[in-house]
Chain A
Amino acid sequence: MINRLWFYLMLIGIVTAGFFGRISIVPEVIFSAAEQAVSICIGLISIMAFWLGIMRIIEESGLINVIIKILRPVAAFLFPGIPKNHPAMSAILMNMSANLLGMGNAATPFGLKAMEKMQQLNPKKDTASLDMCTFLAINTSSLTLVPATVIALRSATGSMNPTEIIGTTLIATATSTTVAILFDRGYRFLERKKGGMS
């Protein structure tokens, strides 16, 4: 998918440049864009390092367990098919907590662990269970409290107030997550009416 997309992006870019008689800009654009990419990533190192450092303190101090405790009732409501003390549940909670803190990179390992544990509960191994679908719906809609990468990017590009988008992000993310959960519930309802499997 991404391979074909990149191919077409490059193809269209180069062909269009030729069509509009701007073919000479192509090498120029390529090298300046590549250089820009590297300097952005170097700029990202600082903030990534900071947040992963804080994340480690949250894990080490046991604060993560407090967060898990707070989120457990929500998770129990969202994932009715998962027994309360099943390992899948704690992996899901760790994933949600990491997502809430904007630690996308920390969230992925927990998310994969959660999928592995949910697969053990899944009667049809090639088909997603309803709880898996809910889990994916919440993950793809993203559940962010601190959009760390965006803040880093804003400060790297010279924003006067890099964190001012936290509030608007909270509202947007709450909207997309709510929509995801509502549609997911809707599908669950339809499946039940059809007498489908869980």
Chain B
Amino acid sequence: MLGKMISIISVWTIPAIILITLVYANIKGVKVFDVFVEGAKEGFDTAVKLIPFLIAMLVAITLLRESGAMDVITHFLMPLFNLLSIPSDILPLAIMRPVSGSSALAITTEILQNKGPDSLVGRIASTMMGSTDTTFFVLTVYFGSVGIKKIRHSLTVGLLADMAGFLAAVLICNKVFGG
């Protein structure tokens, strides 16, 4: 029941957003094509700007995995992950997600490429990636931009929320896609 509802929402969200946007804009007399093209131009720059970050992180992560270092780390944390029924392939992502968005993206890519986007791990990784943000980065940029030095409880709350997001992603994916 829950699984079915979620898959219906999944299928309908994007078409509905696009439909509503276009119909509304049309009613308001917006030149939808011209405006769309104008906005789409930015997409190119954004994607291209990601390249250096992705190269740096993908190289480091792949090296870590291919050298056998990740196996060693995973081996030691495995019991804890088994206890929580979390696939151990997700471990590097869980560690990296709050620290660096681009490297988390690189790890997710690596998981999707090697385990398959439609595997359970692939779906958990996708869900984790979509449902949390790079806590350290956001704090650094946002507080840095206005000169805040004392960040009070922000970091603690951010990391607690990340952890809750991870666990929720694992639980819900196991429920919806597992078995």
**Within 8 Å CB of B57, what residues of A?**
6
**Within 8 Å CB of B151, what residues of A?**
128, 133, 136
Q: Is the CB of A133 within 8 A of B37?
A: no
Contact sample, A vs B, 23 pairs, CB 8 Å cutoff: A2-B99, A10-B60, A12-B67, A13-B63, A33-B61, A34-B59, A38-B54, A53-B35, A57-B30, A58-B25, A61-B28, A112-B145, A127-B149, A128-B151, A128-B154, A136-B151, A150-B129, A154-B117, A154-B122, A163-B14, A167-B6, A179-B161, A187-B157
Determine the distance from Cα of A140 to Cα of B126 in the docked complex, in whole angstroms. Answer: 17
Given B39, B72, B136, which contacts A53 in the complex, CB threshold below 8 Å? B39
Determine the distance from Cα of A180 to Cα of B146 in the docked complex, in whole angstroms. Answer: 22
A115 CB–B CB distance under 8 Å: yes
**Within 8 Å CB of A150, what residues of B?**
108, 126, 129-130
A12 and B69 in contact, given A41-B47, A128-B152, A167-B7 (Cβ under 8 angstroms):
yes
Q: Is the CB of B40 within 8 A of A34?
A: no
Within 8 A of B (CB), among A131-174: 132-133, 135-137, 139-142, 144-147, 149-151, 153-154, 157-173
Determine the distance from Cα of A20 to Cα of B54 in the docked complex, in whole angstroms. Answer: 26
Given A126, A133, A166, which contacts B154 in the complex, CB threshold below 8 Å? A133
A56 CB–B CB distance under 8 Å: yes
Q: Is the CB of B40 within 8 A of A49?
A: yes
Chain A residues with a Cβ closer than 8 Å to the other chain, count: 106
B41 CB–A CB distance under 8 Å: yes
**Within 8 Å CB of A20, what residues of B?**
67-68
Determine the distance from Cα of A54 to Cα of B149 in the docked complex, in whole angstroms. Answer: 37
* B75 nearest CB across to chain A (Å): 13
Q: Is the CB of B63 within 8 A of A49?
A: no
Q: Is the CB of B131 within 8 A of A142?
A: yes
A41 and B100 in contact, given A33-B63, A146-B14 (Cβ under 8 angstroms):
no
Measured CB to CB, the nearest residue on chain B to A173 is B131
**Within 8 Å CB of B169, what residues of A?**
168-169, 172
* B145 nearest CB across to chain A (Å): 5
Determine the distance from Cα of A130 to Cα of B44 in the docked complex, in whole angstroms. Answer: 37
**Within 8 Å CB of A158, what residues of B?**
116-117
* A179 nearest CB across to chain B (Å): 4
Given A32, A41, A47, A141, which contacts B162 in the complex, CB threshold below 8 Å? A141
* A14 nearest CB across to chain B (Å): 7
A115 and B58 in contact, given A57-B39, A158-B117 (Cβ under 8 angstroms):
no
Determine the distance from Cα of A29 to Cα of B150 in the docked complex, in whole angstroms. Answer: 42
Q: Is the CB of B158 within 8 A of A127?
A: no
DSSP class of A's interface residues: helix, strand, loop or mixed?
Answer: helix
Q: Is the CB of A149 within 8 A of B105?
A: yes
DSSP class of B's interface residues: helix, strand, loop or mixed?
Answer: helix
Most buried by A among B5, B69, B151: B69
**Within 8 Å CB of A147, what residues of B?**
126, 129-131
Given B44, B126, B136, which contacts A154 in the complex, CB threshold below 8 Å? B126
Determine the distance from Cα of A184 to Cα of B100 in the docked complex, in whole angstroms. Answer: 23
Given B14, B35, B61, B133, which contacts A57 in the complex, CB threshold below 8 Å? B35
Given A5, A52, A154, which contacts B46 in the complex, CB threshold below 8 Å? A52
**Within 8 Å CB of A77, what residues of B?**
none
B51 CB–A CB distance under 8 Å: yes
A78 CB–B CB distance under 8 Å: no
Within 8 A of A (CB), among B120-178: 122-123, 126-136, 138-143, 145-154, 156-158, 160-162, 164-165, 168-169, 172-173, 176-177
